[in-house]
Amino acid sequence: MKNLQKITPKIKLINNPNKYQSSGRNLAILQAKFDLIAYIDGHSIADENWLSKLYSVYSELLVEDEKLIGVGSQHLNANETPLTKAIRTAFNSYLGGRYFTSFSQRNNLQKVFTTYACLYNKNKLTEIGLYNENLKKGEDLELNWRLTKQ
Q: What's the whole-model pTM score?
A: 0.73
Alpha helix ranges (H) inside 8-138: 21-31, 50-64, 82-91, 122-127
In this structure, are residues 40 and 120 in contact, taking their beta carbons and an 8 Å threshold? no
How many alpha carbons lie under 13 Å from residue 59 in its C-beta half-sphere?
6
Summarised one tens digit per residue, pLDDT across range 74-117 is: 666 667 777 767 766 766 665 554 444 444 444 555 555 566 67
The per-residue pLDDT for 102 is: 45
Q: Percentage of the chain with pLDDT > 70?
A: 73
Q: How far apart are CA 84 and CA 78, in angstroms?
A: 9
- Binned at pLDDT 50, 70 and 90, residue 9 comes out as confident
Mean pLDDT of 133-138: 89
